[in-house]
Amino acid sequence: MPGTADRRRARPVGRTGGGPTGGCGKVAWLVKPRPGEGPVETGSAGSVAEISGGQLRRLAAGTGLAAQADLAVRVLHEMTTPWNTRAAADLPPSDVSADGSPVEFAAGIGGCDPSVQFAVEPMTADPGPDARARAARAVMARLAHRGWATAERWSAVADLFLCQEATGPHLAMYGAEFSGAGLAGCKVWFYPGCTGGDRAPALVREALGRVRLPGAWAAVVRHARGDFSGCRPILFSLDLSDRPTARTKIYFRHYGVRPDDLSALLADHGFDAGETSAFCRLATGGGTAFSRQPPVTCLSFTAPGGRPDAATLYVPLWVSAPDDATVQRRTHRVLSRLGVSPVLYDRCLAAVARRPLADALGLHNYLALRSGPVRHRVKCYWSPELRHTDPLPRYRTTALPGTAHAGPVPQVPQVPRGLVRERRWSGP
């Protein structure tokens, strides 16, 4: 129970000055759990703004974007106002990261130009949908006021997802991406299941029509193979821009699938079937993780004709390894097969991590592979671990070995037994 950690197995963890992240801080006790135990209980020091702001600065420096760090932190602060002065433990669990942290970081690993992005969920002390909808609307208003985003496309669909009929605990997320030129853009993700999972496809179809992409619905149906019970639309995303290149994205969670199933599905979008299967198996240590945590795919649209411009595969990483050091080694194998240097990935991981990788699991959320004109475009997604380590699977499947199809079971509540301290550390 809380407060009764086995001190015989505890040891101090320190990140001292001189490493790539610099600085110093209080030493915290990190307890390695026994098999079957829950999240690691590690205490807390610092607000959401203090911890995530420091991680974002280090991540920008690690990707060669230090000149954009101040702007990135300002945008993060604006998106997380007013709740960013509180500790994550004082807020309801979020859907952004696997441990319930309301922030997620990402960086492009394989591509021409470095980029850093983050996502946040507008939080309130009241977890009810009415309060969450007000918070989501307030973020959009602030971004537009600052000139960082335009609200026209958001306004076209917001009433579908931030509505009185919404019953889900999560309604919207916001994000921003930065490149060497500065703020590349802001985006929003809405939850089509906000009024019930069965109504999600209809909400997606209506939203596509409102953003002048009615022809994209046929591609959505084809991607789901006409079966929205096993391939569920879970997010509807918009670039908050009035540029002709502004994207609309639909995200799907796939239940009861194997790597070969994903390979066949994504072959329609320019993925090499063999590379897709290898990507899944190397990233998860064999591909069996999908029976515990369903993978995600995404279709991106810009042209009114309805044909996807690109597709992306997201492989979950927090359910199939004993610790993040193992995930790091697996990611190195993925990058090696794709001909991508691991140096940038390692720098980014060191920037986000606040503990030794071998001590727990939960830093890595997803590893993504995208199709398109640039081959082997890889992006990694990390949790700031603002709540706890070793998160449980979420949105699990009912799939058993040998079954061809499965449906979702309720999400496992993420109830942390403790919070993660700022633990200074010099690298992976």
**How is residue 252 written in tokens?**
């799907």
User: Where would I find the H helices in 42-128?
Assistant: 48-62, 69-80
pLDDT surpasses 50 at 19? no
pLDDT surpasses 60 at 71? yes
Select from 115, 164, 104 the least CA-distant residue to 352: 104
pLDDT surpasses 70 at 402? no
Helix (H) or strand (E) holding 173: strand 172-179
* Residues facing 175 on adjacent strands: 119, 187
- Rounded to an integer, the average pLDDT of 192-215 is 96
pLDDT surpasses 90 at 396? no
pLDDT-derived band of residue 292, with 50, 70 and 90 as boundaries?
A: confident
Q: What is the pLDDT of residue 155?
A: 98
pLDDT surpasses 60 at 163? yes
Select from 25, 20, 77, 31 the least CA-distant residue to 46: 25
Select from 353, 381, 377, 350 the least CA-distant residue to 367: 381
Active site residues: 104
* Residues facing 189 on adjacent strands: 173, 237
Instruction: Measure Cα distances from 135 to 80, 83, 102, 124, 294 in Å.
Output: 10, 10, 13, 7, 29
pLDDT, tens only, 322-372: 999 999 999 999 999 999 999 999 999 999 999 999 999 999 999 999 976
Helix, strand, coil distribution of the chain in percent, nearest 5: 35, 20, 45
Instruction: Measure Cα distances from 17 to 94, 155, 423 in Å.
Output: 32, 47, 12
User: Where would I find the H helices in 299-342?
Assistant: 324-338
Q: Could you tell me the pTM of the whole model?
A: 0.85
What are the residues whose beta carbons fall under 8 Å from the beta carbon of 173, sequence distance 6 or more? 95, 96, 119, 120, 121, 122, 188, 189
- Rounded to an integer, the average pLDDT of 388-406 is 61
- Rounded to an integer, the average pLDDT of 148-177 is 95
- 3-state SS class at 331: helix
pLDDT-derived band of residue 5, with 50, 70 and 90 as boundaries?
A: very low
**How is residue 130 written in tokens?**
């009415």
The answer to whether 40 and 389 are in contact (CB under 8 A) is: yes
* The residue type at 34: R
Dist CA 230 CA 257 (whole Å): 9
Select from 207, 229, 231, 227 the least CA-distant residue to 217: 207
- Residue by residue, DSSP assigns 126-171 as S-SHHHHHHHHHHHHHHHHHHTS---HHHHHHHHHHSSTT--SS--
- 3-state SS class at 405: coil
Q: What number of CA atoms fall less than 13 Å from residue 291's CA on the CB side? A: 10
